[in-house]
Structure 1
């Protein structure tokens, strides 16, 4: 089995502040993107990684990191698009036609566990579409516009979606081709697959697979990666 990985890091990262985009921020002297790439490059079935970044970052990556990226199975660096789904599509189009499974992962989730990556691969191979998610622990309230509570939503069957999200390559390309030119923005890749009428399986994950978005997230990642 061959697995291709699309690592998405083309967003602006405005919530973090400062002049450096999130994937390039350093934790203990190493950029976030490299922590994440290493998590996937050590998976035996992963045979290629496609790194999607902003157009302005490509030259810097090639000049400074090319040898390191090559050593970690990064086959191509491609520019992102206007929306996240456009960036993902650019990466998907560069995956090898011999890949059975494609994993899509946020580059700023550097703490994903090896066993969870492998679990998503295995479930995607069996059920065609599977995502990593953590069970909801908080009590969820739904309100109206006036902020009065309308109902409490039972959390028994609620999950917080994470990445990686894994799909059979033919399925995910077919789905993106169906929706990519529409106006609707999808919050994650699984939502698009669900909209196309396919079932998506949950692979239970853990809360430490955080997406680094704010300075508080950086402090948590620094502690966990220390």
Structure 2
């Protein structure tokens, strides 16, 4: 089955003080680590990379060519938001692709075991993502930071990427979202809004999204294990 990966990496990185995908992790850009990982997955047919327009040449020369990432077939300019960038990526997906595999460019520690489980679930259920159970107490708050209520931790899971979908399903979800001006926290929310059930599979804590400077310290440690 043909599976196309879309890797959005066009964010501003405001919370970390720079363009996250290009921060160096053991002398390689974070984005390079992520793409090297995806390159190794036999079940992926191709990768579409979505970056800021000003970074296209850099990615082509210093990431794709330098690390021989042959599965990256297209590098395109992203949009104003992550959802805009993914939508642009979806327009470039080969019509032969049955599944679309959407993975954050700043999650370099995805394991093949987890990715394969998500793909298998998507083949069966049309939409799937990795997640892990919450281990902290979660509070819903008021605007003044007083507690509104305590949420039931046992029913709260943290969702990661890759989020994998039947191609026709995710294209339809994005087209509907664009038409209605819908914004969402992630890709799965868009198909949920259409009434599609999303199957979660057990992920792991290593699959971090590098968002804050503290995450870089953790990432350095993960590189050594």
The verdict on a shared fold, with TM-score over 0.5 as the criterion, is yes
Tell me the equivalent position of 1:5. Answer: 5
Match of 1:191 among 185, 189, 205: 189
Is the CA contact 1:38–1:72 (under 8 Å) kept in the aligned structure 2?
no
Give the secondary structure class of the aligned counterpart of 1:132: strand
1:144 aligns with 2:137: no
Is the CA contact 2:87–2:174 (under 8 Å) kept in the aligned structure 1?
yes
Match of 1:155 among 148, 153, 156: 153
Could you list the per-position Cα deviations for residues 74-127 of structure 1 after superposition, in whole angstroms to 9, with x for gaps in the alignment?
000011011211100111111111111111011001011110111111100000
CA displacement at 1:205 relative to structure 2: 0.8
> In structure 1, how many angstroms separate the alpha carbons of the residues matched to 2:78 and 2:68?
20
Give the ranges of 4+ consecutive aligned residues of structure 1 lying more than 4 Å apart after TM superposition.
Answer: none
Give the secondary structure class of the aligned counterpart of 1:78: strand
Tell me the equivalent position of 1:36. Answer: 34
CA displacement at 1:71 relative to structure 2: 3.3
Unaligned segments of structure 1, at least 5 residues = none
Could you list the per-position Cα deviations for residues 18-66 of structure 1 after superposition, in whole angstroms to 9, with x for gaps in the alignment?
4xx1111111111111111122111111010000000100022223334
Give the secondary structure class of the aligned counterpart of 2:102: strand
Cα RMSD after superposing both structures? 1.4
Tell me the equivalent position of 2:58. Answer: 60
Unaligned segments of structure 2, at least 5 residues = none
Instruction: Give the TM-score normalised by structure 2.
Output: 0.95
Residues 176, 69 of structure 1: CA spacing in aligned structure 2 closer, same or farther, 3 A cutoff? farther
Residues 152, 66 of structure 1: CA spacing in aligned structure 2 closer, same or farther, 3 A cutoff? closer
Is the CA contact 2:32–2:63 (under 8 Å) kept in the aligned structure 1?
no
For these two proteins, the number of residue pairs brought into alignment is: 224
Give the secondary structure class of the aligned counterpart of 2:140: strand
- What is the correspondence of 1:1-226 to structure 2 with a 5 Å cutoff? 1-18=1-18, 21-68=19-66, 71-226=69-224
> In structure 2, how many angstroms separate the alpha carbons of the residues matched to 1:30 and 1:205?
25
Is the CA contact 2:36–2:69 (under 8 Å) kept in the aligned structure 1?
no
Is the CA contact 2:129–2:160 (under 8 Å) kept in the aligned structure 1?
yes
